[in-house]
Amino acid sequence: MNQLITSKIQKMKNIKNIDKIVFGQGSFKQLDQIIEPVRQENNQYFVFIVDDFFKGKELEKDLPLKAKDIVKFVYTGKDEPKTSQIDNLRDEILNSQGLPSGVVGIGGGSAMDIAKALSVMFAQKGSSTLYQGLNLAKNKGVYHLGIPTISGTGAECSTTAVLTGPEKKLGIKCEYTPFNQLILDPELTKTVPKDKWFYTGMDCYIHCVESSSGRLYNTFSKAYGDTALNLCREVYLGKSSGQTSENAEKLMVASLFGGLSLSYSEVGVCHALSYGLSYVFGTRHGLANCISFNVLEDYYPQGVKEFKQMLETHDISLPKDLAQTWSDEQITKMAEIAYALSHMWDHALGENWKELLTLDMIKDLFKRM
Ligand code: NAD
Ligand code: ZN
């Protein structure tokens, strides 16, 4: 039984939350009006970071652009956001027009994390690799606004912007990272292909399971996490499950609440393995989580059972027998990356996790994939 009393957590986090939220079908249209007052700041222009899927689509035409605004389409189909990408974008933009009034990030976890990281990095010196970690950025970044177009990661509300650098995949995590404003318009998610809808949505489901299965779990995390879990169940297992507009609303709220649940808890074993997979093979976060979670019945028996029902209901088949093609060196590297994520193991297994877990045990989990 989990201990829900918060005083058992030794040091309470002081969470920076999102300042403002608009929610509802069609709310994207309010973007112009929302950023208008901010346009007076700095050099009076906005940077729009937009997922490349929207190039040439309706949304591009609906961007409320003014003369000096810059639109950067980011291709997120292959790689997750990189430190070098952020550094280059920042330098290029600052050199051309100076400090912008703000950044708008439109897309999934990748585009939103790029917008978050960029907004922080506009105010820091040197490479973003110097700021991967907790509270390393010392100056307040520029205003930033997030508009998710695929639901599940919780990146819309988290205090971190996950970046892959030459040495590690780790977030810029500080109080300047969370968005000043969110526009949650579920209509924007209607074009998401089914496999991505499943994998990214499962990120939210897994966040809730991991958040609730560890020592940091508490009343705050439970309230958000239970709501998010129930919404995920309605979306993926309920009588009207599937990609309907009603479910698009539910999944968008679930994603937000799953993220808020985590803000006062932590991810666990699945995310530790998933980071290893993404680092070594570049596997996308949602898919990497699904591949990892699928072999974790020893750690999350109920969650994995339900996850398998969801896979079946939506006829999703995960890649099989991956480990057969992996070298021992690759498996060891993934296990080392996973082992290094001590905060996740500490949450999932307890403070004495090093007595309970060996590198070989992690390697065995990878070998089951
Ligand atoms: P993503 O942003 O990488 O996008 C996945 C794919 O979906 C892309 O091909 C994109 O073009 C497509 N897509 C997005 N919206 C679409 C739409 N409306 N219609 C059609 N296609 C659409 O995927 P994601 O799963 O949202 O994000 C993964 C990233 O988020 C990873 O980089 C991961 O590290 C990061 N992440 C961050 C946090 C955080 O707290 N900051 C949490 C979890 C994951
Ligand atoms: Zn995740």
Q: What is the pLDDT of residues 85-97, one digit of tens each?
A: 999 999 999 999 9
Distance CA 6, CA 4 (A): 6
Q: Say yes or no: CB of residue 113 within 6 Å of ligand 1.
A: yes
The structure tokens listed for 49 are: 């970071």
The answer to whether 303 and 246 have CB atoms below 8 angstroms apart is no
Atom of ligand 1 nearest to the CA of 169: 34
pLDDT computed for residue 7 by the predictor: 54
Q: Is the pLDDT of residue 230 over 70?
A: yes
Q: Say yes or no: CB of residue 161 within 6 Å of ligand 1.
A: yes
Closest CA to 347 of 2, 109, 5, 15: 2
Q: Say yes or no: CB of residue 100 within 6 Å of ligand 1.
A: no
Closest CA to 277 of 247, 322, 237: 322
- Give the mutation target among 57, 60, 106, 110 for probing the ligand 1 site: most ligand atoms within 8 A of CB: 110
Closest CA to 101 of 109, 93, 91, 110: 93
User: Residue with the nearest Cα to atom 34 of ligand 1?
Assistant: 162
Distance CA 27, CA 315 (A): 32
Q: Is the pLDDT of residue 6 over 80?
A: no
Q: What is the mean pLDDT of residues 268-274?
A: 97
User: Residue with the nearest Cα to atom 20 of ligand 1?
Assistant: 192
| DSSP conformation class of 142 | -
Q: Say yes or no: CB of residue 49 within 6 Å of ligand 1.
A: no
What are the strands of the beta sheet with 133-134, ordered from one edge? Answer: 133-134, 169-173, 160-164
Kindly report which listed range (42-51, 211-220, 223-232, 243-252) carries the lowest average pLDDT score: 211-220
Phi, psi of 82 (to 5 degrees): -115, 155
The answer to whether 290 and 197 have CB atoms below 8 angstroms apart is no
Interval 276-335: pLDDT, tens: 999 999 999 999 999 999 999 999 999 999 999 999 999 999 998 999 999 999 999 999
pLDDT computed for residue 9 by the predictor: 52
> In degrees to the nearest 10, what's the CA dihedral of 274, 228, 241, 283?
-10
Q: Is the pLDDT of residue 169 over 90?
A: no
10 Å Cβ neighbour count for 77?
10
User: Residue with the nearest Cα to atom 21 of ligand 1?
Assistant: 192
CA R_g for the chain: 20
| Whole-number percent of the chain with pLDDT over 70 | 97
CA of 151 to the centre of ligand 1 (A): 8
| Reported confidence tier of residue 3, pLDDT bands at 50, 70, 90 | low
| Whole-number percent of the chain with pLDDT over 90 | 92
User: Residue with the nearest Cα to atom 2 of ligand 1?
Assistant: 108
- Give the mutation target among 28, 50, 53 for probing the ligand 1 site: most ligand atoms within 8 A of CB: 53
Q: Say yes or no: CB of residue 80 within 6 Å of ligand 1.
A: yes
The answer to whether 122 and 141 have CB atoms below 8 angstroms apart is yes
Q: Which ligand is nearest to the CA of 284?
A: 1
Kindly report which listed range (13-17, 29-33, 58-62, 247-251) carries the lowest average pLDDT score: 13-17
pLDDT computed for residue 79 by the predictor: 82
Atom of ligand 1 nearest to the CA of 171: 41
pLDDT computed for residue 368 by the predictor: 97
Angle at 193 between CA 267 and CA 320, to 5 degrees: 60
The answer to whether 309 and 237 have CB atoms below 8 angstroms apart is yes
| Reported confidence tier of residue 53, pLDDT bands at 50, 70, 90 | very high
Q: Is the pLDDT of residue 58 over 80?
A: yes
Q: Say yes or no: CB of residue 275 within 6 Å of ligand 1.
A: no
Closest CA to 71 of 107, 23, 124: 107
pLDDT computed for residue 168 by the predictor: 81
Q: Is the pLDDT of residue 35 over 50?
A: yes
pLDDT computed for residue 170 by the predictor: 87
The answer to whether 304 and 368 have CB atoms below 8 angstroms apart is no
- Give the mutation target among 17, 62, 116, 150 for probing the ligand 1 site: most ligand atoms within 8 A of CB: 150
Distance CA 37, CA 364 (A): 55
User: Residue with the nearest Cα to atom 11 of ligand 1?
Assistant: 53
Q: Is the pLDDT of residue 249 over 90?
A: yes
Q: Say yes or no: CB of residue 191 within 6 Å of ligand 1.
A: yes
Q: Say yes or no: CB of residue 132 within 6 Å of ligand 1.
A: no
Dihedral angle sign, alpha carbons of residues 18, 116, 134, 299: positive
Place of tokens 């695929």: 150
Q: Mean pLDDT of all residues in the chain? A: 95
| Reported confidence tier of residue 141, pLDDT bands at 50, 70, 90 | very high
Q: Which ligand is nearest to the CA of 271?
A: 2
Q: Say yes or no: CB of residue 155 within 6 Å of ligand 1.
A: yes
| Reported confidence tier of residue 10, pLDDT bands at 50, 70, 90 | low
Percentages helix, strand, coil for the chain (3-state, rounded to 5) are 50, 10, 35
pLDDT computed for residue 1 by the predictor: 41
